[in-house]
């Protein structure tokens, strides 16, 4: 039943943020006792999929298993320092390995970002853009690491604010990255991503070695 519950969450059948049925209800649905349900929920919680609050219920907090990058606490410096080394080669590979479907998705994201006014929504799209490039690289290691990095970053509101501040500049840089990937040039794509991350890094520079906020 753990597998069933987990697949329901990971497949998105149960949307992120929603409340799961109560333990008793789940027990009745699956025909098991509450103990079994509780242990399954504990597993999901350990994997970072759910959180349960006394008296309120258990809530889906993520659609995917969090890597230890997220579980651990990373300083903004660590994240900023590591990103280029992974995202730049990922962009290069993406330019070589992209499919038409990938290109369509990336174009859609970039178009949406240009129209987005809400900073929080824009930052979310920004994360989607970078994650999809990593996925387009065809290397699952890059995909996992970038997704984890981005998720870890999502816990640092200070950093997110600074990212949102340069929305228009980033939009232009994203378009440049996309164009390079469309052109199929690993060199240009890497360079464009490097330029983008460098600019972001400068904007985040004021953070210095400040600790994460948890």
Residues that bind DNA (CB under 7 A): 20, 22-25, 31-36, 38-39, 52-58
| Residue 32 binding target from a second copy, DNA, none, CB below 5 to 8 Å by type | DNA
C-alpha distances (whole Å) from 30 to each of 24, 70, 163 are: 10, 31, 45
| Residue 43 binding target from DNA, a second copy, none, CB below 5 to 8 Å by type | a second copy
**What DSSP line would sit under the chain, residue for residue?**
-HHHHHHHHHTTSS-TTPBPPPHHHHHHHHTS-HHHHHHHHHHHHHTTSEEEETTTEEEE--SSPPPHHHHS---HHHHHHHHHHHHHHHHHHHHHH--HHHHHHHHHHHHHHHH---HHHHHHHHHHHHHHHHHHTT-HHHHHHHHHHHHHHTT-HHHHHHHHHTHHHHHHHHHHHHHHHHHT-HHHHHHHHHHHHHHHHHHHGGGTTPPP--
Least distance to DNA, CB of residue 61, Å: 14
Near a second copy by CB under 8 A: residue from 16, 28, 46, 120: 46
Least distance to a second copy, CB of residue 81, Å: 6
Residue 144 in the binding site for a second copy (CB under 8 A): yes
Least distance to a second copy, CB of residue 145, Å: 6
| Residue 82 binding target from a second copy, DNA, none, CB below 5 to 8 Å by type | a second copy
Residue 72 in the binding site for a second copy (CB under 8 A): yes
Rg (C-alpha) for the chain, rounded Å, is 19
Residue 85 in the binding site for a second copy (CB under 8 A): yes
Least distance to DNA, CB of residue 60, Å: 12
Q: With CB under 8 A as the contact rule, which of the stretches 7-15, 55-63, 118-126, 135-143 interacts with a second copy? A: 135-143
Using CB under 8 A as the criterion, which residues of the chain lie in contact with a second copy when the complex forms?
Answer: 35, 38-40, 42-47, 65-69, 71-72, 74-75, 77-79, 81-82, 85-86, 89, 93, 139-142, 144-145, 148-149
């Amino acid at each position: 039943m753990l597998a069933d519950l987990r697949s329901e969450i990971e497949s998105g059948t149960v949307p992120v943020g929603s409340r799961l049925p109560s333990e008793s209800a789940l027990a009745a649905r699956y025909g098991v006792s509450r103990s079994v349900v509780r242990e399954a929920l504990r597993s999901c919680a350990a994997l970072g999929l759910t959180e349960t609050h006394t008296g309120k219920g258990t809530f889906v907090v993520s659609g995917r298993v969090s890597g230890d990058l997220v579980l651990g606490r990373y300083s903004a410096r660590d994240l900023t320092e590591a990103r280029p080394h992974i995202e730049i080669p990922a962009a290069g590979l993406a330019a070589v390995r992209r499919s038409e479907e990938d290109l369509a998705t990336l174009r859609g994201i970039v178009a949406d970002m240009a129209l987005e006014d809400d900073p929080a929504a824009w930052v979310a799209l920004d994360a989607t853009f970078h994650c999809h490039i990593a996925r387009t690289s065809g290397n699952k290691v890059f995909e996992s690491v970038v997704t984890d990095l981005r998720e870890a970053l999502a816990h640092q509101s200070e950093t997110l604010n600074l990212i949102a501040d340069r929305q228009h500049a980033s939009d232009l840089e994203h378009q440049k990255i996309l164009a390079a990937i469309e052109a199929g040039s690993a060199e240009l794509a890497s360079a464009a991503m490097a330029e983008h991350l460098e600019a972001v890094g400068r904007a985040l520079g004021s953070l210095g070695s400040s600790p994460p906020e948890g």
